[in-house]
Structure 1
Amino acid sequence: MQRYVAYLRVNSQDEGRSALGLTAQARDIELFLETHAPTPYEVIATFREVQTGPDHNRPQLEAALALVGRTSGCELLVAKLDRLSQHASVISAFMEDQQVRFRVASMPQADNAQLYVYAVLAEQERAFISMRTKAALAVAKARGVKLGGLKDKTGRRNAAVQDQARLRASEVGPMIRAMHKDGKPLQAIADQLNSAGVPTARGGLWHASQVRRVLARLREVGLFA
């Protein structure tokens, strides 16, 4: 029987209380178990972490890893790779640890090499997005633009939809951008994502049109020429 220890993490106290982020991660894990886990399987424990301090201070992750190490054939199961860490060096250390095996629910077919490349590219993307955001805010402030302020309900909803679309683009963007730069056609990129078990934002299969939209969103934020 395949055994799993599930680990869910959010980054703020408010998100932990509302359970919005935790609920989404639990849903991704449940989808993986229903569609990709070998049968029979057992989730022997679930650890939930609300992280408010440094990345290295995660007692729930340490407890989850300890349980995985004590249980023969057990795997740590996370919804997304960045729930383990946003740093490629940390991901690499997990891969080199002979006592710990982990599985990423949103990328069920990806091997360690693919996961590492994804981690490196995603880390670069986040750093670049942060720099662009700071630069854009500085320019806006210099022009006298009032930052922040209230939005009406429709405006907030539309902004949330756009933010979610951009977030998903940043998650899968590194893989898509790398394949596109290698000259792969859009449908071939979609086929590769499907074969790696990477779902779309709605949990479905990729098509060329969806790959095109992700590339367009990357261009919007200046991450793809």
Structure 2
Amino acid sequence: MKRYAIYRRVSTEDQGKSGLGLEAQNRDIKLFLENFSEEPFEVIGEFEEHLSGKQDDRPMLAEALEIVRKTGAELLVAKLDRLSRKVSFIAALMDDPKVRLRVASMPQADPFQFHLYAALAEQERKFISARTKAALAEAKAKGKKLGGLRPKTEARNKAIQANAKARADKVAKTVQPLRAQGASLREIAEALNTSGVATARGGKWQASQVKRVLERLENAN
């Protein structure tokens, strides 16, 4: 039986809360499983991360890779840039004999094509960055004011942060003692789900969400 460990990633906390980025990834993964996967198949783990693809140190990806290496399952992502935006990182994974990668939006691609696509995407991002810097420098030379958030955007961001802090405070008496006792992020998530505590969107807790709550509580102290 074909087995998969699914990994999803959004770059910011706001993207994760909106569900827009995750919905698109869920759609692509579903299309792959229904139309391109060998059958029968089994999803043995699902992992979600709210971190930049520039960061190599990602706890949920590490867990997904650990399961892949132990079980022989394939790591399934919606798009290659959800795994990483760095060619070196993707190349290192493809060199790992215990890691097999599948990309939903590129169902027939082989490792060479993954490497080539990642290299071209990295070149494009560098060009876009250079073009943006040039445009900003030109605008500054013409006396245009740059930077700063609009008042409405700033107020909305503050409200989002305040709501997130309030939700973290509600579960603090559960997550902090469990963490102090040595419970893993996944164990804490299971405890919250067993207790009937829902997430902000009314769903089930995942380890990545517990991690953000603990970080928010720690930063508030």
| TM-score tier (shorter) | 0.5 to 0.7
Change in CA separation of 1:115 and 1:31 when aligned onto 2, cut-off 3 Å: same
Q: Which residue of 2 aligns with 1:62?
A: 62
| TM-score between the two structures when normalised by the length of structure 1 | 0.63
Q: Which runs of 4+ in 1 moved over 6 A?
A: 148-151
| 3-state SS in 1 of match to 2:91 | helix
Q: 1:77, 1:102 within 8 Å by CA — same for their partners in 2?
A: yes
One-letter identity of the residue aligned with 2:107: P
Cα RMSD (Å): 2.0
| Per-residue Cα deviation, 1:105-164 (whole angstroms, up to 9, x for no partner) | 00011111111011111111101110110110110121123457999xxxxxxxxxxxxx
Aligned to 2:112: 113
Deviation at 1:25?
0.7
State the one-letter code of the partner of 2:81.
D
Aligned to 2:94: 95
* Counterparts in 2 of 1:52 and 1:128: CA distance versus 1, 3 Å: closer
Aligned to 2:186: none
Q: What residue is the counterpart of 2:83 in the other structure? A: 84
**TM-score, scaled relative to structure 2:** 0.64
Matched AA of 2:142: R
User: Is the alpha carbon distance of 1:88 and 1:53 closer, same or farther for their aligned partners in structure 2, counting shifts above 3 Å?
Assistant: closer
**Do the aligned partners of 1:28 and 1:105 also contact (CA within 8 Å) in 2?**
yes
Any idea what SS the aligned residue of 2:75 has?
A: strand
Larger Rg: 2
Q: Match of 2:40?
A: 40
Q: Give the whole-Å Cα distance in 2 for the aligned partners of 1:145 and 1:116.
A: 41
Mark the runs of 5 or more structure 2 residues left unpaired by the alignment: 151-221
Count the aligned residue pairs: 150
In 1, Cα distance between equivalents of 2:118 and 2:54: 19
5+ long unaligned stretches in structure 1: 152-225
User: Percent of aligned pairs with the same residue?
Assistant: 60
